[in-house]
Amino acid sequence: MQADNEYITVLSHLYEKSLILHDIGMFHKVLYFYFVDSLAHIDYTASIYCYNYQSPKIIMGGEYLRWRIDEEKKGDRAKFAAFVNWLKREHKEKFSRIPSLWQMIYDDEDPAGYRSFRIVMDPDSRSEIPADMFFIMIDEFFEPDFLKSLYADASLAILFDAFTSRTSSP
């Protein structure tokens, strides 16, 4: 790792964030899972730009991300990608306000995705994600209005529950 690596500042920016003013126990369980999961993918992707792939940090991040593959298939978590696409079709204004990482990763029409746990914007490119883009992604996840929408009785959570109740009906 180089001390002047620009991705170290990305990781510092992420680690300096705090949820101290929020009661995460009251966040909607599925939305909270994807919130933490996205932060883990941001951390993992920026970390592989900073550290050797066999560093304990990378290994630990990979172990979490390997675990989450099965976890995202449980219960209503499996409906999250469909929910994001539904927002895009039915609630464009709400879709435009969710973090851009969610818009890119879960939109069926966007080529972005998680590849080997890394965030990949363009599968045909070998370029690193610019550090500036990480700062934007991190700030979007910690935007006060977005965090407020994650509570079980808040706007995004209510929309998610409405979506899941529709998709669960016979």
**Chain segment 127-158, per-residue pLDDT in tens:** 999 999 999 999 999 999 999 999 999 999 99
Q: 41: closest CA among 124, 95, 105, 107?
A: 105
Closest Cα partner for 50 from 10, 86, 90? 10
Report the percent of the chain where pLDDT is more than 70. Answer: 96
d(CA 30, CA 45): 22
Evaluate if residue 77 carries a pLDDT over 90. Answer: yes
Instruction: Please report the pLDDT score of residue 167 as a whole number.
Output: 83
Q: What's the pTM value of the predicted model, to 2 decimals?
A: 0.93
Reported in sequence order, the residue ranges of the chain that DSSP labels E, i.e. its strands, are 113-115, 118-120
How far is the C-alpha of 34 from the C-alpha of 17, rounded, in Å? 17
Q: What is the radius of gyration, based on Cα positions, of the chain?
A: 16
pLDDT, position 1: 44
Q: Is a pLDDT exceeding 60 seen at residue 2?
A: no
